[in-house]
Amino acid sequence: MTEKLFERALGRLDEAAQHMEVGAETLERLRHPTAVLAVSIPLRMDDGRLEIFDGYRVQHSDLLGPCKGGLRYHPDVCLEELKALALWMSCKCALMDLPYGGAKGGVAVDPKSLSKMELERLSRGFIRRIADFIGPAADIPAPDVYTNARIMGWMMDEYSQVVRQRTPAAFTGKPVALGGSLGRRGATGYGGYVCIRELAKRRDWVAEETTVAVQGFGNVGQEAARLLYENGYRVVAVSDSGGGVHDESGLDVPRLIRAKNEHGQVKSLYCEHSVGDEKNGEHISNAQLLELDVDVLVPAALEDVINADNAGQIKATTVIELANGPTTIEADRILDERGVTIIPDILANAGGVTVSYYEWVQNRSGEYWEERDVLARLDKRMCDQFNVVMDIAADKSLSPRMAAYGLVLKRIGAAVEAMGTAALFDGD
């Protein structure tokens, strides 16, 4: 499926263009990444061996501003996937009305196989290879899969040494001590919670009567589940790569978070007496979680988990996509026909890039904000853009996904038109 991921991502835009007035040049621009960089990174291992790792950076668009997007470490990193992710970042930034285009990058490596010193050397070596292509006004990387604040700190420090000046605005998602923003770590989950909260207002949901299942219990899924739990929602199931737990009466989310972070698996709370003994909980698989009879399903892990094979068995009436691309185009159509509301990934998980933007602004101004101020700004922007999308969807009888992509095309199209298209030059 990965080899077609970029074309599938473009398919969303093509479908949205059928419902909006979009210039042909806008779509053509979005079909072609601005730049694609491939590098090799020689790494001296702790035992003296030399290994070479492949690294990539895809800059999809700079029509609205410098490129922005994560760097991931994963054995399966490839250009096709990164092109799709970079396109989604372009869409996400346009949707949130941020002065950014999209980018994505990574290194094909299993970071768990490296020592901490090897990981630092790899991170610094990667930045030396791509330093000429990134920077605060060109392309600003951030954490992604299997990278974190510490790695961003190493990368920022290495970039600063290359350019001979301290440059915290070249990276976001850094440790707070190195110029990172308060509120960044939980921003993606917080943004997803805001979407659920605003949708609840439109649907007159009662929190205590609304059931939620969360697939994926990393940083993003944990934060969303925590906020929902604290605000009265009944979180009845969560899962990670090892499986999940389900309790129809509601899970103790804070205890699950502790179990996950201390023992590495959410099921430990229900399976290990040293952590807890919840008699009503049952162990379930990730596949079973997706098909539970709940009000809200939150896929917060991998792409394509909701597909043509299981879309017909999804019982949730609302899906909040905190993962990137968790629903295939085929599944999207099936769920739409069944009346399931999907809040798309480019909206639901945009909290992370929004606070990355705030971090960049703070770095460039030298003025740093309290966490409550960061979250207040995030809350307002997520709330505003969510309601713009939902109003467009209602006005044009579109799904929220098509409304979101239509708004993306409108905003990027305005930039394309401002520079002049064939209509401007025709006849000159």
Active site residues: 104
149 contacts 175 by C-beta, under 8 angstroms: yes
Q: Would you state the structure tokens that stand for residue 370, as one six-digit string?
A: 């309290």
Cβ neighbours of residue 132 closer than 8 Å, sequence gap 6 or more: none
The SS3 of residue 98 is: coil
Backbone CA torsion sign across 392, 29, 5, 285? negative
Side chain identity at residue 393, one-letter code: A
Q: What phi, psi does 321 have (nearest 5°)?
A: -85, 95
Instruction: Say how many Å lie between the first and final Cα of the chain, rounded.
Output: 46
Side chain identity at residue 126, one-letter code: F
User: Per-residue DSSP letters for 357-399?
Assistant: HHHHHHHHHT----HHHHHHHHHHHHHHHHHHHHHHHHHHT--
Q: How far apart are CA 261 and CA 421, in angstroms?
A: 53
244 contacts 237 by C-beta, under 8 angstroms: yes
CA nearest neighbour of 199 among 188, 182, 186, 212: 212
Backbone CA torsion sign across 213, 375, 324, 96? positive
Side chain identity at residue 251, one-letter code: L
- Alpha carbon 428 to its chain centroid, in Å, reads 44
